[in-house]
Structure 1
Amino acid sequence: MTPGINAARKAKIEHDIHEYDHDPGSESYGSEAAEKIGVQPSRVFKTLVVAVDGKELAVGVVPVTAMLSMKRIARAAHGKKAAMADPEAVQRSTGYVMGGVSPLGQKRRLKTFIDSSAQSYDTVFVSAGRRGLEIELAPSDLAKLTGGQFMELQQD
């Protein structure tokens, strides 16, 4: 079990686990996950950690088919600028390795923002905490477990 799965179980959140054989040569973890578990890519969300104004870390959860708008996540986090966080800082704060970062069960709970498109689905898929492992849950439960807020995060 991963901390993400344990967090869902502890909160008694209804969820399903989907495991697949991860190909280390895959160019996109999210697209690979959608293909291997057989769901629309727009239902699979990637977890991106950004540094806001060069210091505070925040999480953006967006569909694997989209790009995260740095302006929108910076504004959501009450900052001026956002950039992808340093991979070592991500691993230290979340406890997860790149490509397997889950929005759930992070070592240090970061401010989390979820793209509002998630609300158009009954369930969405996010990393369960390691490559080749996805957790499926209701968007409202994702927000509840992460303390996340829904907002427009996709780049135009």
Structure 2
Amino acid sequence: MAATPAVRVLEKARVVHTLHPYDPEHPADQGHGEAAVAALGADPHRVFKTLVARVDGTLTVAVVPVAGTLDLKALAAAVGGRKAAMAEPADAERATGYVLGGISPLGQKKALPTVVDDTALGFATVMVSAGKRGLQLELPPQDLVALTRARTAPIGR
């Protein structure tokens, strides 16, 4: 399996991680994060989805549990902004270098401001996309925060 940019970031930083491949095919009424949880039999509070929003016009990454949703007002507040809205899919793909359903918070083409939901810190490890559909990576949340230069805040609900 070829290493994605996200995996290369972890290898370069010598961060201990585990890759979890799965079949990315899923029903149309199920999101990519939910599909990963179902395929891996994982806790949806410990698997995090990577979303891209615009906060006062600036693309911003939000990493929240699959079990919940992103609170756009909380995201805006976390980065000192006033208004947030989900980014257009094409903008998210262009800025990160990944396709929807496989956007990783790590190894993005352009470093974007990132906020990780603070519930991540309650786990020894969390899972996020490894940079392609059908591949999750597991790592300590402190390493995720450090490598993305993220701040943590209660942005999920």
TM range (shorter): over 0.9
> 1: CA distance between counterparts of 2:26 and 2:102?
12
AA aligned to 1:110 is: L
Could you tell me which runs of 5 or more consecutive residues in structure 2 were left unpaired when the two chains were aligned.
none
Structure 1 SS opposite 2:105? coil
With normalisation by structure 2, the TM-score equals 0.95
Structure 1 SS opposite 2:49? strand
**Cα displacement string for residues 80-107 of structure 1 (whole angstroms, at most 9, x for unaligned residues):** 1000001111111100011110000000
Is residue 150 from structure 1 mapped to residue 126 from structure 2 by the alignment?
no
Could you tell me which runs of 5 or more consecutive residues in structure 1 were left unpaired when the two chains were aligned.
none
Query: How much has 1:35 moved relative to structure 2?
Result: 1.8
Structure 2 residue aligned with 1:7, among 4, 9, 20? 9
Q: Which runs of 4+ in 1 moved over 2 A?
A: none
- Percent identical pairs in the alignment equals 46
Paired residues of 2:63 and 2:117 also in contact (CA < 8 A): yes
With normalisation by structure 1, the TM-score equals 0.95
Is residue 41 from structure 1 mapped to residue 44 from structure 2 by the alignment?
yes
What's the counterpart of residue 63 of structure 1? 65
Query: How much has 1:10 moved relative to structure 2?
Result: 0.6
What's the counterpart of residue 109 of structure 2? 107
Aligned residue runs from structure 1 range 126-141, under 5 A: 126-141=128-143
Query: How much has 1:39 moved relative to structure 2?
Result: 1.5
Structure 1 SS opposite 2:45? helix
What's the counterpart of residue 25 of structure 2? 23
> 2: CA distance between counterparts of 1:35 and 1:63?
14
> 1: CA distance between counterparts of 2:109 and 2:156?
26
> 1: CA distance between counterparts of 2:38 and 2:27?
15
Paired residues of 2:33 and 2:49 also in contact (CA < 8 A): yes
What's the counterpart of residue 94 of structure 2? 92
